[in-house]
Amino acid sequence: MNSLEVSNLKIGDDATGRALVRNSSFLVEPGSCTAIVGESGSGKSLTCRAILRLNPAGLRQSGSIALGGVDLTKLSEREMRKIRGRRLCLIVQNGMRAFDPSSVVGVHLRETLNRHFGWSRAEMTARMGKAMESVRLKDPVAVMNSFPHQLSGGMLQRIMIALALVLEPDIVVADEPTTALDTVSQYEVVEQFASLRARIGCSMIFVSHDLGVVRRLADEILVMRDGEIVESGPTRKIFSEPRHAYTRHLISAKEALNRRFNHVMGGDDVVDR
């Protein structure tokens, strides 16, 4: 597995001249999980899409993004297509938008695998079926023959995780993958992300508003506000000794919500049950 090093990343809007991400630098070590947290509009998703070079043409990007020592910003689009999926795998917030609504999901899966491997249709189906079963999707053949609208958000997220299991990328970039899910589905998908990382040893960039999820998954945390990384460090230290006022605000807000929830539910003893 390879490290990912982002150096002096800047993203600006050509139309307005506005700076959207300012001079961001961070390192994702092999096998580690780095979480990016912050309010909406802070630059989290822009940073993720910049890594895969998927931001719109109207956004200007500078700086270097090195995967295993290779600067992705210097590669051609054709070369990037070989890296997306196989070495850098993106799992988006809304699973419905990840698949072509006019085709069954199996078409998308086979097209992706065919781009990176010389497998037969039968082998691709067999490998995806095994991966789907491992993320607790029943009847994989029926799932692959379903249109996206026939599946729940949680199922679509699990399909993307199953695809990552087959692709075995160096880095999985998960951009708020649990936001659109109900609480039970959120828990199950988070557990599948933890299992994915353990099984293939990939690194992970995990974007989330949920600090509970971040605490569960992340080794390192980047706190973004208004396009800047205002604080970074090991997860335990960020939660126990936050230095920046904005980080302290995020953590205190989460703790206040937890206290309120416990009170409404009847106290810690009731919630623990």
Please state the domain extents for the chain: 4-241
Q: Is the pLDDT of residue 257 over 60?
A: no
Instruction: Return the pLDDT at 92.
Output: 87
Superfamily of domain 4-241: P-loop containing nucleotide triphosphate hydrolases (3.40.50.300)
Question: Rounded CA gap, 179 and 176, in Å?
Answer: 6
Q: CA of 86: how far to CAs of 51, 175, 178, 227, in Å?
A: 14, 18, 23, 29
Contact 58, 12 (CB under 8 A): no
**Sheet strands (E) in 132-209:** 171-175, 203-207
Summarised one tens digit per residue, pLDDT across range 47-104 is: 999 999 999 989 999 999 999 999 999 999 999 999 999 999 999 888 888 899 999 9
Residue 271 reports pLDDT greater than 60: no
